[in-house]
Chains A and B, each alone.
Chain A
């Protein structure tokens, strides 16, 4: 495993992914705590969304490590790659859909919600990044609207965080398997989670 080219990059990627997963878990924990305090169901959906995202990212880290173990033993890895890729993409989309429903204002447009659900059949498409981009775009638009109406710095961090996540998916799609684009995608995802972490810390500390 150590002699393979690009191994340092993969290690760096796995570290970023693991730290992002821990941040997602922290946000999920805080949202769950807030749900138990207030009884607001949207906070429960938000918590579940971040928990699913956390599981997806840890799953990818474990899957990647397992991939190298299988490769070294000479086993067939193609099925494993397919399973990890689809599970990772599918779980991310599931998390983003939960974000849409948790951040939708109370009196939302039911037609828009139905339109979002129509995207679900596309989940079988192997190119899951495109579906993630569409759903995440809705999340970014909702968070931008929340920021513009509240002008709260916490809402700004959330808006910028989700924007970075959207850009990371765009970079992944546009990179066309180029290593630079892939790395940019991972760094943008990490930056998005860092912004969410800053929001979490600031909201928790300030009086």
Chain B
């Protein structure tokens, strides 16, 4: 039996992760929060976080309890705004991204 879960593109997953981080505000979001919100496996989460760090969309910070948190960079915020515009444009024509 086929899964009814809709297909999510890699771009969509990255945007979901960035939106989760944005929602957490200045303190940033921990890996567990991102993992659950973006519905990802641990391996995928590590891979995508690395990609977002390399592209300077997010920045890593060490918390006092030595855990990690991620916050959105200015470049990341700009990207999310641009993506929202693209999303509205595509949906106007019924194109899923």
Contacts and interface: CB of A to CB of B under 8 A. Distances in A.
Contacts of A145: 94
Dominant secondary structure at the A interface: helix
Contacts of B96: 40, 106
Q: How large, as a class, is the contact surface on chain A?
A: 20 to 34
Interface of B: 9, 11, 81-86, 88-97
A146 B89 contact: no
A129 to B, nearest CB: 24
Contact of A46 (B9, B81, B85, B93): B93
A43 B94 contact: no
Interface string A186-207: 0000000000000110011011
Chain B, interface SS category: helix
A203 B95 contact: no
Given A37-B83, A207-B84, A30 B89 contact: yes
Contacts of B84: 207
Contacts of B90: 34, 38, 40, 43
A199 B92 contact: yes
A40 B91 contact: no
A58 interface: no
Interface stretch (A76-84, A88-96, A151-159): A151-159
Contacts of A157: 92
B92 A103 contact: no
